[in-house]
Structure 1
Amino acid sequence: MTNAAPAAGERGASWLELFFDLVVVAAVFQLGHLLHGHAVHGVDVLKFVLLYYVVWQTWTAFTLYANVAAEATLRRTMFAGMGGIAVMAAAIPEAFGEHAQVFAIAYVYTRVVAANVWQKRRQMLAAWPLAQIGFGLLPWIASLWVDGTAKYVLWAVGAGIDLVVSVLIGPERMRRGLERRVSRVEDYRSRHPERRVPAVDTAEVAAPHLAERMGLLVIIVLGEGVLQMIRAAEGAHWDAELAATGLVGFVLLIAMWWQTLQYGFGRLTGRKRLNLTMVAHFAVTATITMIAAGLGAAVEHPAHHLDTGMRWALCGAVSIYLVAMTVLAVRPRYWGFGALLVAGPLVLAALGSHMRSSGVAGVATLIMLAQVAFLGTLRRRHRES
């Protein structure tokens, strides 16, 4: 069974892909709550980043498969991925406890399913090497026979290998390697016509469709931010400061929506270094989820001081988000000014220990609005030149 063919015209996200995203929504919801309702420490942030990477990588693998396969996308393959993500989502609250083994097995399962589909299609995807290269999966497999801290260290090593491989290999190097491989196969087949050697093709990404899919995940994590603030407001004392903090938080989410989709992934078409764009997408969506947790804490207790760990998590996430957007949307000659904005949240984290939660959220929002104005100015200059 395959996915229904799209209507005439440019292909958009299918109903099957949108259904797939609903399971990812559940996982993002679970991830967002890892940093909420308790004092946040550095290890909590590291755990969040690792688990978020696993969910994001799984989403990426199946999204790229559906992107290339288009109307030939197998429903059973997507449903298998959905099942794996659903299990991971259920295990997230105790992923570093009693459900660690279940979480790891579910991730290995989904990764194998996603990689196997390329072998069946006899295709290699140069745009994102992790679609078929499984070096980073080996530590996860090894972790199934290890307990305690060693298990989680292996998880981190696997994620690190994935990210390093994706950056170092890159689409162009991967494409050249695939072309050499295809050439060797064709040469072998010409010299040995009696032997049956399966052909291997290079798969090309449909950039407009991928841009839409990446944008939809951004919308999902932004929706988690809105939900975090709504849930926090339910049990808070409703007064003018709460209303102001909620408004400030909503403006911050709008600012991230604006620059991420207007200046970031909405301009994906034609980018040669798609692997770096994918890494930026991971950084942006992960930091939005962290910022959402910080906004939820600020709305819950606007007149109190943010927990030190939460303040650094919120401000650090804003800073990393600004770095990713600067690299993604700004030409290198303007990175100097972007660096000034990036430093702002870190200064806020260091000096904001005596500020109310509402004040920290307000200053973070002003910095984010400054980035929006900066990107808008650069866009106007580019149009005029």
Structure 2
Amino acid sequence: MSADGVSAREAPVKKELPEMRGRDLMRRQRRGIWNAPKLAIDWHNRDDHINPPTWYELFYDLLLVAACLRLGNYLKSEFSYADPAFPDFVPSPSMGVLRLSAMCLALWFVWLEQTGWTSRFSNHDAAHRAYALMSCICLIGMTAHISLGQDLEQNTVGFVLAFTGAVLTSSVQKFEVYATSTRAKFMMTVELAQNVLWVAWFWIGVALPHEYTHAFWIFAPLVAKVVTQRFVLFAEARRIPIHVEHYSERHGELMMLLLGESIISLTAADVIPGQRVSHYSFLALGVALVMQLQTMYFEAQPNEADFHALRQSVKTSYFFIFGHLLFFPALIMVGVGLKILLLHLKDELHAPEAWMLCCGVTLTILLIHLMRHAHKAGFESTLGGRSQSNDQSVWIARLAIAVLPLFVPIGVHAHVFSPLAVVAILATISLAGVVLDTVSGEGEIEEVKGVEDDPIVTAIMTAAARE
């Protein structure tokens, strides 16, 4: 019961954006040219039921795999590019990582736009299928313009044009919600303003000298997102919910796609006669490294939505979302590092290649461990493991494991470690992380408060009832 005596379950908000799930929602929207967007889940009944990704989302992920492969090839070119047709091109590892991060930011933003939409709304009419097709075309356009050191200026303009198309498509969908829902006007206004700022910042970056473009792409849009989201922080009663389980699952799938780029990198070189033992050993250790990173990630994710960081606070929610942005360049660096080491398995290893791989592994493990602490303590992991401990000594041990890979390039610089030895050491470090996760669980699974006890939900439903 709300403060003015109106039951939360009888609030008029249900009439405007009815809460439906699964087949009922699809059955209502299966036919027709256009239907107003429907809210998939509401505050008054926000228990997260299974909401599997749609076929469109899976196809969009397939296109994102192509983008990740293209990004990996781009970064590799900045370390070892050689083409007689472009003799003036000089590889630059530092600029390569900077440009990679900027393009990862743009791809992450358009992916997040689609994930945010499917986690809150559902549409299966002809118009929204056309929007989905347009989003896919724009993503392919962005991928095609990821430069490999050739015609950088022209490719940058094409990349931003495709990015603008993707954001414009998302904005049209949000404007539909703005026009058809009084309740969602505030949120859609904030997000539309955010989209305008992002597109403006990217075009301003194009107008800058090339050495400043990608640095501007990284910092300016993030500032714009933080500024616009500040309005949401001070308007709790005007928020609209996301489907936490679906949102979390989509981020887990993003992690798997990025890890997949590393697996594909292990198939980059043919087996050379006389090197079969070392080649197969490298493949086995590389797969072990990637699989253990995957195990650590999903061991750090709660099985129930009420323990998730998205349910704890605004700060933990932001860390979960922006943490996955950092996973993007980190895991691509892991994949490219494995590819370069494999291609030079019998050659002399240089420190820059080792630094890239080791920094990628360190950043990945560090993000996983920090993300674990953003969730509510005492959760059961998605892998069915024991409840997880946030004990201080365990936290320090995890931090030490995350930092250890940074010492490996020192041995490379001293010509002590070969490519095979580097991968073996990193696989051993990641195995130590998996073992620590396995043995550090303790205690019983904690109980979480019900929806009716949540002050944020109470404030939202009270405001909705007063409308």
TM-score using structure 1 length: 0.82
Residues 24 and 131 from structure 1, CA distance in 2 versus in 1: closer, same or farther, beyond 3 angstroms? farther
Q: Which residue of 1 aligns with 2:56?
A: 16
Shift of 1:232: 2.2
Matched, 1:46 2:72: no
Letter in 1 for 2:54: S
Matching residue within 265, 289, 297 for 1:260 = 297
Q: Tell me how far apart the structure 1 counterparts of residues 273 and 120 of structure 2 sit (CA, whole Å).
A: 47
Q: Tell me how far apart the structure 2 counterparts of residues 261 and 341 of structure 1 sit (CA, whole Å).
A: 17
Q: Which residue of 2 aligns with 1:381?
A: 442
| Contact 1:62–1:114 (8 Å) recurs in 2 | yes
Residues 237 and 84 from structure 1, CA distance in 2 versus in 1: closer, same or farther, beyond 3 angstroms? farther
Matched, 1:205 2:265: no
Deviation string 1:261-290 (CA, Å, 9 cap, x unpaired) is 231386664343322101111222331121
Matching residue within 406, 413, 416 for 1:346 = 406
Q: Tell me how far apart the structure 1 counterparts of residues 187 and 397 of structure 2 sit (CA, whole Å).
A: 34
Listed as ranges, the matches of 1:234-313 within 5 Å are 238-264=275-301, 269=308, 270-272=311-313, 273-313=316-356
Matched, 1:356 2:412: no
Residues 278 and 132 from structure 1, CA distance in 2 versus in 1: closer, same or farther, beyond 3 angstroms? farther
Report the more deviating stretch, 13-22 or 349-358.
349-358
Q: Which residue of 1 aligns with 2:176?
A: 120
Shift of 1:166: 4.7
Q: Of the two, which has the highest radius of gyration?
A: 2
Matching residue within 284, 299, 324 for 2:367 = 324
Unaligned 5+ runs, structure 2: 1-20, 25-48, 81-91, 179-183, 374-389, 447-467
Residues 162 and 370 from structure 1, CA distance in 2 versus in 1: closer, same or farther, beyond 3 angstroms? farther
Q: Which residue of 1 aligns with 2:212?
A: 153
Unaligned 5+ runs, structure 1: 183-201
Q: Which residue of 1 aligns with 2:122?
A: 70
Letter in 2 for 1:225: S
Shift of 1:155: 4.2
Q: Tell me how far apart the structure 1 counterparts of residues 281 and 291 of structure 2 sit (CA, whole Å).
A: 15
Letter in 1 for 2:431: L
**Alignment root-mean-square deviation, CA:** 2.9
Q: Tell me how far apart the structure 1 counterparts of residues 360 and 138 of structure 2 sit (CA, whole Å).
A: 28
Residues 138 and 366 from structure 1, CA distance in 2 versus in 1: closer, same or farther, beyond 3 angstroms? same
Residues 266 and 109 from structure 1, CA distance in 2 versus in 1: closer, same or farther, beyond 3 angstroms? farther
Letter in 2 for 1:211: S
Q: Tell me how far apart the structure 2 counterparts of residues 174 and 221 of structure 1 sit (CA, whole Å).
A: 30
| Contact 1:30–1:89 (8 Å) recurs in 2 | yes
Report the more deviating stretch, 216-225 or 10-19.
216-225
Secondary structure at the aligned position of 1:50 is classed as helix
Deviation string 1:29-70 (CA, Å, 9 cap, x unpaired) is 101112225436211111111111211111111111122112
Q: Tell me how far apart the structure 2 counterparts of residues 362 and 247 of structure 1 sit (CA, whole Å).
A: 9
Matched, 1:86 2:140: yes
Q: Tell me how far apart the structure 1 counterparts of residues 191 and 352 of structure 2 sit (CA, whole Å).
A: 33
Matched, 1:372 2:426: no
| Contact 2:191–2:228 (8 Å) recurs in 1 | no
More helix by share: 1
Aligned pair count reads 354
| Contact 1:80–1:113 (8 Å) recurs in 2 | yes
Q: Tell me how far apart the structure 1 counterparts of residues 117 and 106 of structure 2 sit (CA, whole Å).
A: 17
Secondary structure at the aligned position of 1:323 is classed as helix
TM-score using structure 2 length: 0.68
